[in-house]
Structure 1
Amino acid sequence: RKDAESEFQTVTMGKNGSNYIAFIPPLPSGNKVEYYLKLNTVYYSLTSPIGAPQYYYHFDVVTDTIPPSLFYEPLHSTINGKTPISVTVLVEDNVAVDSQSVFLHYQTPVESDSVAMVKQGQTGVFRADLPPVAIYGDTVLYWFSARDCALSPNRITTPRRQFQVGYEDFEAGLNNWLVNPPGWELDTSSVHSGHFSITGSSDKSYENSGNTTITTNFGFDLSHTDRAALSFWTRYSLEIGHNYGYVEVSSDAGKTWKQLTSPFSGSLFNWTKKIFPLNSYCGPGFNDVRIRFRITTDSTRNGAAGFWSIDDILLRENWRVDRVGQAIPNNTFMLQSYPNPTVLGRPVAIRYGLVSRARVKVIIFNVLGQKVRCLLDEEMSAGNHVIFWDGRDGNGKLVAAGLYFYSFMIKYYSLVGKTEVITKKLLLLR
């Protein structure tokens, strides 16, 4: 009952394993609930507390204003951007957590979405997979939310954190790398950032006739882009003319390797950034591109104490590199659509960038070359831009599923007479 003037209401308890359970109907804040327990058998009756209903238990109904607490380990940047990331959080509350309310939210430069997290057993642990939604080089923002089971639910939303796709700082170890034979290892004695780098000789001593590699244990998918570049920070001391450091790339899952640049030899004691183009490994068919670093030594020491340290590796799509290894933007860059393929009715984000002011016209065509819709026809400033297509034609009617093309016609004001035309495919599924 809710007060001394009311009659006690009876609620039959149901068996739950070796226990019995019942629910008292919810009451507004400010009420006082009085209750007791009673067991009836064919032989006797028992009450708790003894002497009920003259004696009884009670509690006050108050407003719960305390939101849940949420705990998690921050996500590390990952060089492997095409594999889902398993995310786990612990959610606790003074009353109870609404298990349908726990979400992982994420945002990329072109998309923002949420993933429902699934409760693991009877614990307060929830898990979800963060899908591989970003391209190499993108920064992904993520955060969590949950609410409790109060009559007026309390909600928690965590601050936003971020990580970068295609980036390796070795703070999470060597999970994405294969070392063969042993030789490369994590190093804390000299780093460009964070707490760890990798080095081919942390004790500054090489074996004779050595040939040791550290290789990505997965392949980069560069089949959907036409420009990419690899950058990393490095320092080394390799006996000139005797010991060498190689940066190598494979487009056939590691069966054959080619040098990406001239070998390193000699001394470079200060951390220095190196950037190399990967354009020759972009486009259709290049869906398993692997990177490795290799040290070779000759058969005599010749006083060959040395090292090769590497940190902060980044593979970024849509980079162009000049002759001296500096990353520069193209006149038109970051030309991407996401998601692609996509389903009818879901907006497609098409992103691009300009290094100078230009007149930009974007038209959707069907496979017959017929114009479906003009998405953009105006002057645009330098920088990154995103436009969206909702799958409708110029009359607002949803188009049929199939293959479409989006064509950019870009006239640069800084380059008189230059008009660039770029066309890409887009597949709509039913």
Structure 2
Amino acid sequence: DPGNSQISFELGKANVIFSETWEDGTDKWEINGPWVLQEELSVNGQAITDSWGGRGHYAQNCDVWIATKEAILIPNTGNPLLHFDSHVYTEWDYDPVTVEASLDGNTWQEIWTKSGRLDWWQKEYAYLYDYAGQNIYLRFRLRDNSIADELTDPGWTIDNIYVVSGSSAAHKDVLVPGLENTLLFQNYPNPAKQNTHIPYSLTSSTEPKIDIYNIRGQHVRSYRPGTKAEGSYTWFFDGKDDDGRNLPSGIYFYRMKAGKYSKTRRLVLVK
């Protein structure tokens, strides 16, 4: 449980489909940019970073990435999941780090993204059930949109990449065992054209409530799944309001309340 990680997985309860801890080098990966293995900033052993030691600065207007050389077969069962340790330090909103998936190694779909000064290790995850039964490539990417060198930052360091399966599911809610905190996570993809996933976790049996508001603060959608057991779930949000009408493009805010916990995050619809 490195640093302020949000999630810890008990891998013994899941089937490991793919793993990368960087202790055997980078032979599994195609590398674009100055990515190197180092031990100065890692969860344990070595980790890969786009800037030496995770303390250098990425280049202005860079687009650097690492991608799996071989496709990974995602199983049809068990709610496949990607999780990894991430240390991010970029400019908020402008210099995103993303994880992307591809069926052919050429056309990529974003499945996770983040930006900002998160100068500690976090456990991140993305569900892969949209790719069940298919072979996919994974790409970890950092893009800079700065107008000046002084606006660049230390960048992205990645450790302990796993694709696992073996959790249980009910309808459109996905349950993953082994979570320790009640948390509302960032939706993905974000921005979204229509549908997006809103993950959340619960530490005990409770009744979570999620509400979505537009930029003017008007309530547009409610999510009331009833009482949920301890675990992690995902609400598949279809981009519609409570009356079933498609929401227009724009910035929205979603808030979850569960017991004493309350958290608000931002999502963007682009249609």
What's the counterpart of residue 257 of structure 1? 108
Counterpart CA distance in 1 for 2:99 and 2:69 is: 16
Asked if 1:192 is matched to 2:40, the reply is: no
Matches within 5 A, 1:405-416: none
8 A contact 1:204–1:306 mirrored in 2: yes
Is this contact kept in 2: 1:277–1:321, CA < 8 A? no
Question: How is 1:144-223 mapped onto 2 (pairs within 5 angstroms)?
Answer: 166-180=18-32, 182-193=33-44, 195-202=45-52, 203-223=55-75
Matches within 5 A, 1:11-410: 136-137=15-16, 166-180=18-32, 182-193=33-44, 195-202=45-52, 203-225=55-77, 227-251=79-103, 253-261=104-112, 263-283=113-133, 286=134, 288-300=135-147, 301-319=149-167, 327-328=176-177
- Looking at structure 1, the residues matched to 56 and 96 of structure 2 have their Cα atoms a distance apart, in angstroms, of 14
Q: Distance in 2 between matches of 1:246 and 1:321?
A: 26
Larger Rg: 1 or 2? 1
Amino acid at match of 1:291: L
Q: Distance in 2 between matches of 1:183 and 1:325?
A: 37
String of CA shifts for 1:404-425, please: whole Å, max 9, x gaps.
xxxxxxxxxxxxxxxxxxxxxx
Secondary structure of 1:234's counterpart equals: strand
Give the direction of change, closer, same or farther, for the CA distance of 1:217–1:189 in structure 2 (3 Å limit): same
1:60-85 C-alpha deviation (Å, 9 max, x unpaired): xxxxxxxxxxxxxxxxxxxxxxxxxx
Give 1:269 shift.
1.7
Task: Flag the 1:258–1:187 CA change in 2: closer, same or farther, 3 A.
Answer: same
Distance 2:167 2:62 in 1: 34
Q: Which runs of 5+ in 2 are unaligned?
A: 1-11, 179-271
**CA distance, structure 2, for counterparts of residue 227 and residue 320 of structure 1:** 7
Paired residues of 2:79 and 2:174 also in contact (CA < 8 A)? no
Secondary structure of the corresponding residue to residue 142 of structure 2:
strand
More relative contact order, 1 or 2 (CA 8 Å, 6+ apart): 2
Task: Tell me how far apart the structure 2 counterparts of residues 223 and 172 of structure 1 sit (CA, whole Å).
Answer: 25
Q: CA deviation at 1:309?
A: 0.8
Maintained 8 Å contact 2:43/2:121: yes
* 267 and 299 in structure 1: CA distance in 2 versus 1, 3 angstrom threshold: closer
- 2:192 is matched with none
Tell me the TM-score normalised to structure 2 length: 0.54
CA contact (8 A) 1:169 1:313 kept: yes
Structure 1 residues 188, 290: closer, same or farther in 2, change over 3 A? same
> In the superposition, relative to structure 1, how do residues 199 and 324 fare at CA in structure 2: closer, same or farther (>3 Å)?
farther
Shift of 1:325: 9.6
Percent identity of the aligned residues? Answer: 24
Secondary structure of 1:280's counterpart equals: helix
Counterparts of 1:235 and 1:325 in 2: how far apart (Å)? 26
Which letter does structure 2 place at the counterpart of 1:184? W
Could you list the per-position Cα deviations for residues 19-54 of structure 1 after superposition, in whole angstroms to 9, with x for gaps in the alignment?
A: xxxxxxxxxxxxxxxxxxxxxxxxxxxxxxxxxxxx
**Which consecutive unaligned segments of at least 5 residues does structure 1 have?**
1-108, 110-134, 138-164, 330-430
Aligned partners of 2:46 and 2:30: how far apart in 1?
17
**8 Å contact 1:248–1:257 — kept in the other structure?**
yes
